[in-house]
Structure 1
Amino acid sequence: MRFHVPTSRGWLNGGIIVILACAVYFLPSGPAPTGNLSVLLAISLLWLVPTLTWHDRIPGRRDLQLLTAAGLTFLCTSLVTLLWHYLPGPVSRTGLIMTMAIFGWLPSWLPRQQPAVLPPRSYRYLWVALLLFTILLRWPNLGYKELQGDEGIVMNRAAAALLGDDNELFLHQKGPIEILLPMMIWQASGAIHDLWLKVPFAIASTLTVFVVASLGSFLWQQPDDQADGKFAQRAGLLAGYLMAICGFSVAFGRIIQYQSWVLFWGCLALLWAAIYQRRQTPLALLLSTFFLAGALLAHYDAVLFLPACAWMLAPPLSIFGT
C-alpha cells in the first residue's frame, strides 16, 4: 500500500479532526446539556469521523465501503484502547484522544478508490425504508431503564480498568469488547449515561442488518454483472428485513452485551470471504480474517462462523486439497 501526501481536502479533514479532538478534551463534562454534547463529540471523534474518512479508501460498492469502514473503525479503536489499558497505570485520556485523532486522519495519506457503484435508483428507497424500519425496532427509548445485572458487571469492570486494574479483562471470562467500548466513551468524554453506553451496541445491531442484506445481494449477483440485478437486490432486501425483525438481534442491540458485535464482525467476515471466493484479492482475505478475529475477540461464540468462512475460503486457498 502506497502513501500519498494529503490533498487540500485531506489537510482540511485533519484540521477538523484537531478541532474536534480539542473540543472533546476541553469541553467540561456534567449533566445535560453539556454532558450530552461532550458524549456526542466523543462519539463523533471515536467512530463517526473515522468511518467517513476511511470508507472511500476501500474498494467496492457504496454499502460495502461504509459497512467495512465502520467495522474497521470500531475494531481498530477497540484495539487501541486495549493497548492503552495494557500500559501501566490508569488509561491516559490525553493519549487515547490523540491516537483516535491520528487514526481518523490516517486515511488522508492513502489513495482514494474509484467511485463506488450505487444500487439502482428504484431500490434506493427500499434500502432507506429498511434503515428506518431497523431503527424503529432498536432505537426508541434506548435508555429507558437502568443497567441490568450483567451490564452492571461490565461497567464495574470498565471503571476498574480505567483506573489501572490490569486483572479486570482477564477476570471477565468473556471477550473484552463489551468493556472496551464503554471505556472509550467514558474516558474520552468524562461523562456516563445509560443511553450513551448502549449506543455502540445499537449501532452494531443496526449495521448487522445491512451486512446481511449486502451479503445476500452479493451471493445472488452474477459474476459478470457490473451492478446488482433485480433478483440480487430483492434477495438482499429480503435477507435484511428478516434480520431486522430477528428478536435475538433486536434484544441484544438494546443492552451492553457482546452478541451484537459477534454478529456484526462475523457477518462482515462472511461477506469478505464470499468476495475473496469470487475475486481472490489479498485485501478481501485480509479483511475476512481480521473481522473474524474481531468477532472472536468479542466472544468465543464467533467460532460458529468458522465453518462457513472455511467453506468459502477453502477452494481459492486450496485447503484440504480442494
Structure 2
Amino acid sequence: MSHWRNTAFGLVLLTLLADLGLAVPALRYGAAFFLLWIGPGLAWGWHLAGGRRPGIEEGTVGLGLGFGTTSLLALALSYLPGPFSGRLLAVSLHLLIASTILPPRYRGHRDAWGTSGNPSVSLRVLCVVVVVISSLFRLVSLGYSEFQGDEGVIMVRAAGILTGSPDQLFLHQKGPLEVLVPMSTWSLSTTINEVQARLPFGLAGIVGVLAVSLLGARLLNRRAGLIGGLLLAVNGYFVGFGRIVQYQSLVLMMTGLGLLALWLWQEGGEDRWLLAGAFLLACGLLAHYDAALALPAALYMIVGGLHRRGTGGTEKKRFSLRSPLRSLGLWGKPSIPPSLVVAVALAVAVLVLFYAPFALHPNFAKTAAYLRAERVGTGGPVYNNLLRTLPLTTLYNSTYYVVFLALMLAVAGFRPFRRWGLVVPAACVLLLVVGAGPVGAGLRARPEATTEGQATTEGRLYGAAVAAVVWPAAVVVS
C-alpha cells in the first residue's frame, strides 16, 4: 500500500512541477509536453497495473491511452463556442492524473511472461535497443526544415481551431488527431515551432515501433520481436513520417497498441485489455481511415479470445468452427460476454464523437467521394497496387532494404510447411513461373497497361485460378 501511495503522489508531484513550469517561458513547452503526452500515459499505466509498478506492456499501452485521452478531450472542447481553451484541457487532464491517488479497484499481479512488475533482463534489453535506435532516427534534428506540404495545412487548421473556427476538422478530409495533437500543444505552450510540433509525432512513432516489437515477442518469441522492431525502426517510410506533423505515426501507435492489448486479453482474459484495445483501435480510426486495415487482425484476436473462454482458457480442446461462431451469436445460443459489448460500445462512442457531426457537415460528401475514387478505387477492377507501391517503397527505403525483405519473405514462406516438406512451396514457385507467360502475354497485349488492374481478362482469370488452388492448399497443409 505504501508503494502505491508513493507512486501516485510522485506522479501528482511531477504534475504540480509541470504546472509551475507553465509559468516560466523557458520551461513552458517542456511542461506542456509532460502534461499532455507523458503524464496521462503514466496515469493510465498505473491504472492498468492495478496500483503496483507498471510493467513494460502496461506502461507502453498507457502512453497510447494517454495520447487518445488528450486528443478526445481536445476534440470535445473544440466543439465549444469561441476560442479553444487550453486551461480547460489542462484541468481535465489534471483530474485524470489526480485519480491515481484513489485506491486501485483491483490488485495487479505479475504474469508468467515477466512483463508485469519486474520484467526479465532480455525483455528490458529488447525494449532499450528498439527505443534507442528508433529515437536516433526520429528525434535528431527535428528542426531540419520549416513546415512543408501537408504540415502547413495541418498547422493552419490548428490555428483556426484555436481562434474559434468551428468546422476546421470537418474541412480537413482526414482524421482529426493529426490536427488535435499540435493544436493541444500550441494551446498550452502559447507558441510553437517545427521541433515542438513534430516532437509528439516522433514520440508516437517510437511507441508504435515498441508496440510492434512487443506484439512480435508475444506472438512468436523475443528474437522475432527484436528483429521486427529493428526492421520497423529503420524503415524509411515510418522514419520519414515520424519526423513530420502527419498521421502515420499515430496510426502505427494506435493500431499496434490496440492489437497488443487485444492479444493480452486473448491470453489472459482480463477485461482491462479488451477495453484498452477497443479504445485504441477507435482512436486509430480517428487518426486516419488506414487504421481499418488492422480490424481483420483485431477480429481474429477477439474470436480467438472467445474460443479460449469457451474452452475454459485451455488449448487442449480441439478447435471447432462451431465454438467461435457460437460465441459471436452465429451458431446456436450466443454467449457474448458483457465486457465485449461494453468494449464495442466504447469504440462506437469514440467514433461517434467525431464522425456523427462530420456526417452532417456539407464536406462529408466530398470526402466520401475522394475516398471512393482515390483510396478504395471503386471505378475499376480489383488489383493489389504492387506496381504503384514499389516506386514509393524504394523512394523511402534503400533498395537493398527492400530486396532483403523480399528475400527473407521468400525464405520464410518455405518454413511453415512441415507436413509435406517442400512440395507446396515448390508447387507455388512452379505456378508462378508458369503463370508468368499468360499474365505477361496479357499485359503485352495492351502496351498501355501499367497495373495489374489493367491486365487483360485472360491474365486476371489465370491469376484467380492459381489463387483458388494455392491458398486452400496452403491452409490445409500448414
Please give the range of the TM-score, normalised by the shorter of the 2 chains.
0.7 to 0.9
For residues 281 and 127 of structure 1, what CA distance do their matches in structure 2 show? 24
For residues 241 and 280 of structure 2, what CA distance do their matches in structure 1 show? 20
Mapped contact 1:205–1:260 kept (Cα < 8 A):
yes
Structure 2 residue identity aligned to 1:288: G
Residue deviations 1:164-204, cap 9 Å, x none? 11110001011110110111111101111100100011001
- 1:19-30 paired onto structure 2 within 5 Å: 19-24=17-22, 26-28=23-25
For residues 152 and 92 of structure 2, what CA distance do their matches in structure 1 show? 28
- 1:130-141 paired onto structure 2 within 5 Å: 130-141=130-141
CA shift for structure 1 position 269: 1.3
Partner of 1:87: 80
**Which structure: larger Rg?**
2
1:244 maps onto 2:237 in alignment = no
Partner of 1:215: 215
Range 114-123 or range 84-93, more displaced: 114-123
Which one of 7, 15, 18 corresponds to residue 17 of structure 1? 15
Structure 2 residue identity aligned to 1:107: T
Partner of 2:92: 99
Partner of 2:39: 49
Structure 1 residue identity aligned to 2:293: L
Partner of 2:121: 121
Which one of 223, 246, 252 corresponds to residue 257 of structure 1? 246
CA shift for structure 1 position 39: 0.6
Residue deviations 1:291-322, cap 9 Å, x none? 11000011111111111111111243423748
Mapped contact 2:255–2:291 kept (Cα < 8 A):
yes
CA shift for structure 1 position 78: 0.6
RMSD: 2.1
Which one of 41, 45, 48 corresponds to residue 58 of structure 1? 48
Structure 2 residue identity aligned to 1:27: V
Mapped contact 2:254–2:283 kept (Cα < 8 A):
yes
Structure 1 residue identity aligned to 2:37: W
Distance 1:162 1:302, change over 3 A: same
Distance 1:86 1:129, change over 3 A: same
CA shift for structure 1 position 158: 0.3
SS in 2 for 1:169: coil
Mapped contact 1:146–1:194 kept (Cα < 8 A):
yes
For residues 98 and 39 of structure 2, what CA distance do their matches in structure 1 show? 9
Which one of 321, 328, 346 corresponds to residue 319 of structure 1? 328
Residue deviations 1:81-119, cap 9 Å, x none? 111111111111321222222222222225263462444
Gaps of 5+ in 2: 111-115, 307-326, 332-478
Instruction: State the number of aligned residues.
Output: 298
SS in 2 for 1:58: helix
- 1:165-184 paired onto structure 2 within 5 Å: 165-184=165-184
Mapped contact 1:213–1:237 kept (Cα < 8 A):
yes
Partner of 1:303: 292
SS in 2 for 1:104: helix
SS in 1 for 2:42: helix
Distance 1:117 1:87, change over 3 A: same
For residues 177 and 60 of structure 2, what CA distance do their matches in structure 1 show? 18
Residue deviations 1:111-151, cap 9 Å, x none? 26346244432553343222221111111111110111110
Distance 1:7 1:310, change over 3 A: same
SS in 2 for 1:113: coil
Distance 1:126 1:94, change over 3 A: closer
Partner of 1:205: 205
Question: Greater RCO between the two (CA within 8 Å, min separation 6)?
Answer: 1
Gaps of 5+ in 1: 1-5, 29-33, 221-231
CA shift for structure 1 position 248: 1.7
For residues 310 and 254 of structure 1, what CA distance do their matches in structure 2 show? 31
Structure 1 residue identity aligned to 2:144: Y
Query: What is the TM-score with the length of structure 1 in the denominator?
Result: 0.86
Partner of 2:142: 142
SS in 2 for 1:88: coil
Distance 1:136 1:159, change over 3 A: same
Partner of 1:226: none
% identical aligned pairs:
38
For residues 329 and 216 of structure 2, what CA distance do their matches in structure 1 show? 27
SS in 1 for 2:36: helix
Structure 1 residue identity aligned to 2:79: Y
Mapped contact 1:38–1:191 kept (Cα < 8 A):
no
Which one of 48, 60, 73 corresponds to residue 67 of structure 1? 60
